[in-house]
Structure 1
């Protein structure tokens, strides 16, 4: 399945629509129009095409006490086939390039590439924490990863006394999961970079690349003693 047929001029916009839903979750046409700076008519046209292709599905929005009378709003969510089609556009080329890099430069060359790819973590983490000092380290990282298409969120893990022993950084989507299945250095570099920007050990508990539903990284509270080590 492709996001376009014979109207390739619309393809970049349709990919923006799909990516916006992928990152922000199920969305109404009005929300998409505002988020992407498009007219409502243009958004509806792209949504209808994506629904026809099976890349999106429509659902009834949850009832809202503040919503007035009229036809209930619909929200649009990405389907499994839409998610796979979005990812597949880049996976084959990336795998071929990394295979060539591995053959010519070895595993260390692949790891160096992986580290460069996640340079956005250190760069954007500093920007987010400076602008939003109220965020916890994990919450700041969630914003950094979500901006890169990972659809990240945070889950707190409480101690018995109610204090937070750790937070889990949960990535609902991984743009490189299919590639990382063959080249785990991509996951290793992410975990390494998270530990470096936080200045503490973190532990990767699950990855989409290895068949888990969510990529999960445990980030211990710096006030809690832990013997965890940084690992994939």
Structure 2
């Protein structure tokens, strides 16, 4: 009886190219040690200062790293240091969604069904207060909707603004960075809807919702 041929072994993931490995190590050093000078980073990696500077320039272009000037220990000669941006921080694993779900579960258990919405509405009201500075009621509605869409885009929602019939506008969010929480607590989406109404001062209707399995969160603004 002929022996069966051996099963093929799974292919290992190809190693990162050397320049990408170097960039990854730079990000790890900044994550572990905080702001560093280019000389410090080059020394950690055993490479030249110009070489480290080139990689840091690429990371700056990608929005992962930024530079600033500071005095060591609060005194001495100013020096340029590099640090992670918010986007660079987001490249590392986080457990925020798990923590948020756990906190909301305890809020609900301790204070009852309506407590979760009450907490999230308080958060939304605070956000609305900040946004209203940039979206004053004196501006035309279309411009306020555009500014709200831009803010959502910056917050990671991949939002676009689309025109509608009868003078209405649409905000379409094609990503939900809070999806894990929203699937378990629909109050999060409801409080967001309340925030849109408060900020824009007109009726807002949600037509679709990512957390329900649809492709986007689609909000109709206006009549």
TM-score (norm 2): 0.56
CA distance in 2, matches of 1:195, 1:109: 21
> Partner of 1:92 in structure 2?
98
> Partner of 2:150 in structure 1?
143
Gaps of 5+ in 2: 1-23, 33-52, 65-89
| Structure 1 contact 169–219 (Cα < 8 Å) conserved | yes
Q: CA deviation at 1:113?
A: 1.6
CA distance in 2, matches of 1:95, 1:178: 8
> Partner of 1:127 in structure 2?
133
CA distance in 2, matches of 1:174, 1:108: 23
* Cα distance change, pair 7–155 in 1 and its aligned pair in 2 (3 A): closer
Q: CA deviation at 1:89?
A: 2.9
TM-score (norm 1): 0.54
* Cα distance change, pair 139–47 in 1 and its aligned pair in 2 (3 A): closer
Gaps of 5+ in 1: 13-38, 51-82, 159-163, 221-225, 227-232
Q: CA deviation at 1:107?
A: 2.1
> Partner of 1:42 in structure 2?
56
| Structure 1 contact 118–190 (Cα < 8 Å) conserved | yes
> Partner of 1:204 in structure 2?
206
Q: How many residues align?
A: 154
Q: Could you say what secondary structure the match of 2:196 adopts?
A: helix
Can you list the C-alpha shifts for 1:142-187, whole angstroms capped at 9, x where unaligned? 12323333232201113xxxxx531111122222111010000000
